[in-house]
Amino acid sequence: MQSPTKQAGPNHVDYKEVLAPTPFLEHLDCYCLTQDWASWNGYKVARVYDTLASEYFAIRSTCGVMDLTPMEKYRVSGPDALLFLNRLVTRDISGLQPNRVTYVVWCNDEGKVLDDGTIFNLDGGHYRLCSQHHQLDWLLISSLGFDVTIEEETHSIAALAIQGPTSYSVLSAAGIKDLDQLKPFGILNISVNGIEYMVSRTGFTGDLGYEIWVDPCHASELWDMIFSLRERGLFDIRPTGLGALEMVRIEAGFILPGEDFNTAETAIRADHDRSPYELGLGWLVNFEKCYFTGKRALVAEVGRPIRRKLVRMCIEGNKVPTDAFLYDRQGGSRIGTIKSCVWSPILKTNVAMADVIYTKGNPPKKIWAEIYYQKELEWRATWAQCHISDKPFWAHRRSSLTPPEKF
Amino acid sequence: MKAYDAIVIGAGHNGLTHAAFLSKAGLRVLVLEKNNYIGGATASLELHKDWRYSNCSYVCSLFRPEIYQALDLGRHGLEVVPLQGSVTFKQDGDYFGSYHQSNLRRREIARHSKRDADASIRFDTDLMKWCRLIRGFLLRTPPDPASFKIRDAMEFAYLLKSFHKLSESQIYEFIRFFTMSIAEYLEQYFENDTVLAHYSGGSIIGTGLGVYSPGTAYVLLHHAMGDVDGNVGSWGFARGGMGSVSASLASSLRAVGGEIRTDAEVVKVSVNRGRATGVILASGEELSARAVISNLDAKRTFLGLLDPNDLPEDVVTRAKHFKIRGSSGKVNIALDGMPEFPALPEGSPLTLGHMHFTDTLERLERAYDDWKDDRWSQDPYVDMVIPTQYDPSMSPPGKHMMSVFVQYCPVEADGGWTDSKRGAFGAAVINQIADYSPNFKDLVLHAEIRTPRELEDEVGLTEGNIFQGELTLDQLMFNRPFPGYAQYRAPIKNMYMCSSSNHPGGGVMGAPGANSAREVLLDFGKSTTIPEDFGDD
Amino acid sequence: MTKRSSVLVIGAGHNGIVCSNYLAKAGYQVEVLEAQSAVGGGAATFEFADGFWAPGLINAPYGLNKKIYKDLGLRPRGSKTSEELNCIALDRDGNHLILNRFGLTGGEVSEKDINSYRIFRKEFTNYSKVLDPLMVDRPPRLKDMDRKDKFTLIRLGWNLRFGLRTGSMREFLRVGGINMYDVLNEYFDNPRLKAALAVDAVMGQRMGPRTPNTVLTYIQRIWAETQASTRLPTSKDILEELYDSAVSRGVNFRLDSKVTRIIVDEGQAAGVLLESGEKVSASIVISNADIKTTFLKLVGTQDLDAMFCHRIDNIRSEGNVAKIFLAVSKLPQFRNLEQKNFRHRLLIAPDQRYIEHAFNCVKYGECSDKPVLEITIPSLVDPTLAQTGFHVVSISAIYAPHNPNKGWTALKTVFLDNILSSIEQYAPGFVESVVAKKILTPADVEEQYNNLGGHWHHGELSLDQSFMMRPVYGASQYDTPIQGLYLCGAGTHPGGGMTGVPGHNAAKRVLELAGSA
């Protein structure tokens, strides 16, 4: 035995720090008037900084900034990196060019979705995989037999999302050149004042937006580079919290694993997991490419009529059907549940993600939501008709314009 | 002489639970206890002047909330406070803490292995699947595979239905979980030795098996499927010690008219023409009842209370072969203050939960090897708790009571226990703790060392086995205690069994007591008072 | 009959030959690719010293399953086909205990134990019969069953409920999952008798007598024994019978042809790649190689699901037995043991605790300092193995780890010396008579036979790796996630020994899915 009684070392988990700080925390803290903090993957992030409405409209009409550091990030490199990733995800990424990003999902052996995320081709045979949930275990399991190195780098890459119509102008003004030719899902590596940044034209808002990635030791420089423009009165730039993000991502029609559906890894009860088809992500599944985990199961599933689907829905009226059951008619049989729902301030309607039962592969003809809502502490119930929407509720043309509009 | 409907032998928690449910159904019930206190292994006694302690069982999680609710135990004085986290101290001076707070817990696992931090999500999900499945069987009477009765067929149908709800891969994974060793099971998830050792510990507590013995993965469930207020897997302290469990049960029992007599040792069950008619006490007094229910373990019930001539031959043989090996000891310590654990950061919450000092699978397995050779583990696995950190009722302010559960300790240490051997066993434990806590030895005011021998002599657990029979595949479900007698009825008419020797087994669960009460009431033609499973956990 | 389909079998182990035999019989054109320059794999003889031949890895095979004998029309070889194979538990003082499936003698065993033994054998033989429907066919799936799966399960249930008396059925359900140690203690008093029986339960496994699961391994062994076709065969006899009949059916054996890759095209097996670079095409490929080699090396994880590979990777397949071959100048002199007994299995295992202690070591990556030994003298049966006037002694020694902490280079001599001095205690003068010696550790077995882990049975025969979970679910019915790729080795149900049953079951499955040619 060496010295069992030695003092606690410096690398120990600080039990008083339940939420881990991101490199931007001290800056965020100044803006966080509500001090309404929440945990995102164990990191301290704000739910709301000021008011939900101001943050929402920052994203939709000016420029919102969000701390992306807690997003799970993995670096994949080594001779088999591409082979490995292509066996992991359902989409064919062999054509993913250097400095390009793509959206992917991956499944377990049974073809049930484990998570979604993005793959960045960082050039030089390196890739970055960003995911919603912790995936190191699955990535390492999947790496058996492949010559790859997988490193979790969540904490060693700081990232900010700069989203909204003026985001291009803000970044240009901040000194990031060559942004005009950056297409959606493109990556730009640039050095500003001697600091290396990676800028990707990606986001979770359905609007024009960028994500900037930097070594955590330069997090403050990045922050100042952007927020000095606000201080100089040039742009309205606001930190935005999880609350606003939730609103814009539903409007944009992006699903959130763990909220809109149970990921396969956390599904305890049988049949509580979902395949890509059941999430409306069939377009991400490619049977023409090499083998990928879950392919056999998915091939079999395609041959059967779909049983249920996560759909985007508009709900009539103005009562927000949080957690509502869905019925085929008022008081009829239950055919699903709402998974996430917000009142869209721009569209002036309720938009939602809902899990709906299909019969013989077809969606229900009519969908009604039974909505419970409260007025002055008194609960009431009402019915509202719902309409499945094939397209995202919000997809502004500026989001794909290259070069983007300047302000 | 007062006539009773039912006499329960032994006022352990199962006996009391059983009696309470019978009384609730309107039966006249008497519980007889040999000791001058009730509770059996679930008692709070005086350890040292002003110090109270839980004599045997020391933490609470498995006790069925359905029973808690049905017998109104909260109002009868039971309070279960959740325990917070656990820690394994490492030999190199580091430690692995399983914090109650989930973010901290995750970061702490990641400190030892990033992969394991993520793998723990997969592990927790899988374990929860098996918990859900098994919990559904706890408050049910196991079916008899040899029977053709409708009820057994229906119970089997329920069992098959539960399995049918699983996917094919889940079915196989469940079978594997049931039959694998904890070490090999965990190695499918984790890589870090400390993490492995930390998670394995619960699987050997109370068993005569090692971490590499197939079947131990299932035992983990016996320590993981309990819950405190819906938090499956967490443990709690009964305020005032485990005696509060028995005290509240007794109070609930008395409230519905049940009687308890202490200092009333039953020496024989009277049997007349194949029917149990009552009991004979050590004092010579005879009591009669329409039903006799034994809360003693299967060995004591069939080899002690009954005459072999009254029993079928195979039952006697099976009782003799019943595996009820003692493998655990306890050291209860009164402390003058709170011991320091310098490895932990100042003020660390990790002392609030279970503490362990065995950081590798190899050390766990070697501890078992000692026991196989009838020695106590030289480097034992201990499960140590200091409940007085949040239970003010057990020691004077600023002083503490420490309960140390020790695995492994043989029933007979190589030729029998002597005082010096007992002292050496206690020293092995105390020295291990002192290795990690420099001021510990100075704080010890009184230490009580209990080997399986004492557990047997005082409480009446044969060989000191805490589960009243090992939880191996041959002694589970319809095999518990013996094949053919798993439905709580003894081979003698009007005689029943309600102890942990019966399904679903040990741990302060109350389920055997409740399940057997259901059978007695069925035979009495009374409607049941036993609650159904809450369902869908 | 026109030969239309071609089948490739990877590995000419006995299961591979059994399988190819069946397929050739059904009209397939079968080619067997063997890495070594002789057929037989672990069962083949090889020269371990100048003029001395090792009889292969198996000391005393029970012989192929009856059904295979009948189906393939094999003709038994070997002279003494009626003699029982005895097991002799050696005693230092000469009170040897001799037992076989009918009874036991010697060893100062009490009348009670002799009676118990009769009951014990009968009970366990009955238990093994319950498993019958499960053994000589693919193990059933437990969900999404087809008609045959259901039928197998119903037969199993029927056998359990009506094949056994109610008491035996209950007993079977009780002991099925537990350890030999407790069961033997319930039956017997004599320590050497218990040890002799326990050795049969643990030999080849990473288990000691107290390890739960050992009753199951014992039942499986009894099953193999009672279903065997002949008594006292040698591995060589069995192999020759099989090989000759395969060749006569037109099976083509290609030796020195190591397969390095199974070619998969769009999820379908398309052939194999040889070490020479040659590509051999076939739409049906059957692997007699161990499971990890087959999936992780030959197929590669690229074409398989990730969790499936993880499960394959987690198969426990580390060997625990060392084989020792000795050339001796004279037969060993065991006190009080007549020479006619030398043809049988000689055991050194005085009591169960001795075995358990030997087992303790392997758990920590050490060799047993007092190993359990199973000794045979194969040159008595087949004199061609040794030079005239000399003998070959073949020993299975447990426990030897696959990858000891200290490394095998340092340990080999120590372990070998331990073994020799153990025998010396029972047969004084033995060490002096040794003229040549060879030890095959699990690591050597891995290298010599391309068997990852070097496990006799290509994987522990524990409950979680048996039946529908052998080798892993998703590949337990001999077909695999790769269409056209089948498994036929000991890594599949019902496992190792020289029964040939995995090969038989695999062939049956191929014929079921691909149709007879």
What is the complex's ipTM, to 2 decimals? 0.95
Q: Residue A9 contacts by C-beta under 8 Å, 6 or more apart in sequence?
A: B94
Q: Give the Cα separation of B232 and A364 in Å (integer).
A: 38
The pair of structure tokens assigned to C272 is 């194999």
Confidence (pLDDT) at B536: 76
The pair of structure tokens assigned to B320 is 């003799």
Confidence (pLDDT) at B1: 57
Q: Give the Cα separation of C181 and B323 in Å (integer).
A: 12
Contacts of C173 in chain B (CB under 8 A): 145, 478-479, 483
- Whole-number mean pLDDT of chain B? 93
Quick one: DSSP state of residue B339? Answer: P
Tell me the shortest Cα–Cα distance from C406 to chain A, in angstroms: 21
Q: What are phi and psi of A206, to 5 degrees?
A: 75, 15
Structural domain includes residue B73: yes
Confidence (pLDDT) at C82: 59
CATH number of the domain that residue B54 is part of: 3.50.50.60
Whether residue A345 contacts residue A351, with contact meaning beta carbons closer than 8 Å, is answered with: no
Residue B248 has pLDDT above 60, yes or no: yes
Structural domain includes residue B15: yes
Tell me the shortest Cα–Cα distance from A271 to chain B, in angstroms: 8
Q: Residue C262 contacts by C-beta under 8 Å, 6 or more apart in sequence?
A: C10, C269, C271, C272, C273, C285, C287, C294, C298, C299, C482, C485
Structural domain includes residue B175: no
- Kindly state whether B439 is in contact with chain A, defined as any CB-CB distance less than 8 angstroms: no
Strands B259-261 and B86-89, bridge-based pairing: unpaired
Structural domain includes residue B385: no
Q: Which residues of C410-435 are buried (b: 16+ CB within 10 A; e: fewer)?
A: ebbeebbebbbebbeebbeebeebbe
Q: Distance between alpha carbon C111 and the CA centroid of its chain, in Å?
A: 33
Confidence (pLDDT) at C176: 87
CATH number of the domain that residue A363 is part of: 2.40.30.110
Beta bridge partners of B383: B405
Last residue of a domain, one of A240, A259, A290: A240
Structural domain includes residue A349: yes
Structural domain includes residue B127: no
Q: Which helix (H) or strand (E) holds C442?
A: helix C442-449
Last residue of a domain, one of A225, A240, A255: A240
Beta bridge partners of B133: none
- Kindly state whether A5 is in contact with chain B, defined as any CB-CB distance less than 8 angstroms: yes
pLDDT along chain C (517 residues), means of 10: 69 96 95 95 93 89 88 75 81 93 90 96 94 92 92 93 91 91 96 96 95 94 85 82 95 96 95 95 96 97 97 96 96 90 93 97 95 95 93 96 94 95 95 96 94 93 93 95 96 90 96 82
CA distances from B321 to B303, C182, C186 (A): 11, 9, 7
Contacts of B212 in chain C (CB under 8 A): 211, 363
Last residue of a domain, one of A240, A265, A282: A240
Structural domain includes residue B272: yes
CATH number of the domain that residue A51 is part of: 3.30.1360.120
Structural domain includes residue A121: no
Q: Give the Cα separation of C411 and C401 in Å (integer).
A: 11
In chain B, how many domains are there?
Answer: 1
pLDDT band, residue A304 (cuts 50/70/90): very high
Q: Do B90 and A4 touch (CB under 8 A)?
A: yes
> Which segment of A30-34, A316-320, B279-283, B470-474 scores lowest on mean pLDDT?
B470-474
Q: CB pairs below 8 Å between A and B: how many?
A: 100
Confidence (pLDDT) at B363: 97
- Tens of pLDDT along A398-407? 999 999 999 8
- Tens of pLDDT along A134-192? 999 999 999 999 999 999 999 999 999 999 999 999 999 999 999 999 999 999 999 99
Shared-domain flag, residues A344 and A196: no
Beta bridge partners of B275: B272, B493
Candidate from B97, B103, B348 with C-beta closest to A19:
B103
Candidate from B111, B122, B350 with C-beta closest to A137:
B122
Cα torsion at B21, B26, B31, B36 (round to 10°)? 90
Contacts of B321 in chain C (CB under 8 A): 182, 186
Beta bridge partners of A368: A327, A385
Strands C372-376 and C345-348, bridge-based pairing: antiparallel
Q: Which residue, chain included where needed, has tokens 């069962």?
A: C43
Optimal mutation site among B166, B372, B414, B470, interface C, most CBs of chain C within 10 A: B372
Residue A2 has pLDDT above 80, yes or no: no
Looking at the structure, give the CATH architecture of the domain made up of residues C6-40+232-316+459-514: 3-Layer(bba) Sandwich (3.50)
Q: Give the Cα separation of C225 and C5 in Å (integer).
A: 35
Optimal mutation site among C205, C399, C463, interface B, most CBs of chain B within 10 A: C463
Neighbouring chains of C at 3+ CB pairs within 8 Å?
A, B
Structural domain includes residue A123: no
What range does the domain containing A338 cover? 307-394
Residue A370 has pLDDT above 60, yes or no: yes
Q: Do B214 and C464 touch (CB under 8 A)?
A: yes
Shared-domain flag, residues A213 and A338: no
Q: What angle do CA C62, C64, C67 make, to 5 degrees?
A: 130
Confidence (pLDDT) at C231: 63
- Tens of pLDDT along B62-99? 899 999 999 999 999 999 988 888 999 999 999 999 99
The pair of structure tokens assigned to B429 is 């434990």
Contacts of C213 in chain B (CB under 8 A): 179, 214
In chain A, how many domains are there?
Answer: 2
Quick one: DSSP state of residue B376? Answer: -
Structural domain includes residue A212: yes
User: At C512, is the secondary structure helix, strand, or coil?
Assistant: helix
Instruction: Tell me the residue length of chain B.
Output: 537
Whether residue C309 contacts residue C301, with contact meaning beta carbons closer than 8 Å, is answered with: yes
SS (H, E, C) C29-68: EEEEECCCCCCEHHHCCEEEECCEEECCCCCCCCCCEHHH
Strands C485-487 and C284-287, bridge-based pairing: parallel
Contacts of A108 in chain B (CB under 8 A): none
End-to-end CA distance of chain B: 48
Q: Do A109 and C307 touch (CB under 8 A)?
A: yes
Whether residue B117 contacts residue B489, with contact meaning beta carbons closer than 8 Å, is answered with: no
- Kindly state whether A106 is in contact with chain C, defined as any CB-CB distance less than 8 angstroms: no
